[in-house]
Amino acid sequence: MIQFLPTIIKAAILSGNAALEVYKQDFSVTEKPDQTPLTLADTRSHAIISKALQSTDIPVLSEEGAEVPFNERKHWRQLWIVDPLDGTKEFVKKNGEFTINIALVENHVPVMGVIYVPVFSRLYYGIYEKGAYRADIVNPENIENIDPERIIENAIPVSIKIKTSRTYTIVGSRSHLTPEVEAFVEEKKRDHGHVEFITAGSSLKFCQVAEGNADIYPRLGPTMEWDTAAGHVIAWAAGARVYRHDTGEELLYNKENLKNPWFVVTNGRDE
């Protein structure tokens, strides 16, 4: 498993570079059948990552790839789950809060993942039972000449540190806030007296909990497996808990229906 980490780090940075080329220009936005936005950056990033992952001989499930029937997917013990551009709405708004997400899933559980934030040249990665890490990439446009192993060597460990000295902090979606999340915030206000509510786009909400900037991330609204797989393993590897809002059970992947149930990411401060 870990032998694939340099491959996915390089693929994420390369696709991030391609996305930035589009981001810095005027670009058109089309609409997919599910009424979500699509740009040239999405398709370019998908092509780069798909090519890079061919060397692993592990099948790929990507938001921008061809739909794979469950009768075929159900036999996959391992698969890559990829969101070539998570946060396309943030990309279109040009607020910088979009990411490249790549995760390895084994037996329905994410075991390794990377999140790359192109605008900030910041990389997060997590490996099950080996921890979560952050690296700021110097000269990412020169990634062809950068050894990913050096990035790994210089990465900074990320782990949950519950900060009871600061206000209880909830992170929520910048573009997908629901009435249910607003009700969740009000409930936490009753529990804690006062809470701070911050917003972030894309999978950065997982990273906010993993780095200790937020205590909890309630996602009480629709998401797909590619939206969460990489963030799930990074938060999990940092010491957070990711669970279904309705049952308290772990999120599972490569399901017949690729929609996620509502879920919560928490550092355990409430527990």
- What is the per-residue pLDDT for 165? 80
CATH value at residue 95? 3.30.540.10
Q: Where is the domain boundary, 158, 183, 211?
A: 158
The alpha carbon dihedral of 117, 144, 84, 71 has a sign of: negative
CATH value at residue 183? 3.40.190.80
Residues 168-184: pLDDT tens digits?
Answer: 999 998 777 789 999 99
Strands 122-127, 131-136: pairing kind: antiparallel
- What is the per-residue pLDDT for 91? 87
Residues 32-61: pLDDT tens digits?
Answer: 777 677 788 889 999 999 999 999 999 999
**Who's near 51: CB < 8 A, 6+ residues apart?**
none
Count of other CB atoms within 10 angstroms of residue 64: 19
Residues of the domain holding 218: 168-266
- What is the per-residue pLDDT for 35? 66
C-beta separation of 112 from 2 below 8 A: yes
- What is the per-residue pLDDT for 199? 92
Residues 238-255: pLDDT tens digits?
Answer: 999 999 999 999 999 999
Give me 45's structure tokens: 């990033």
- What is the per-residue pLDDT for 30? 79
How many domains is the chain built from?
2
- CA–CA dist 102, 53 (Å, integer): 10
Q: Where is the domain boundary, 158, 193, 228?
A: 158
Reference 161, options 126, 212, 196; nearest CA is 212
Collapsing DSSP states into helix, strand and coil, what is residue 59? coil
Residue segments in the chain with a per-residue pLDDT below the cut of 70:
35, 271
Q: Give the global pTM.
A: 0.94
- What is the per-residue pLDDT for 122? 97
Verify that 95 and 182 share a domain, yes or no: no
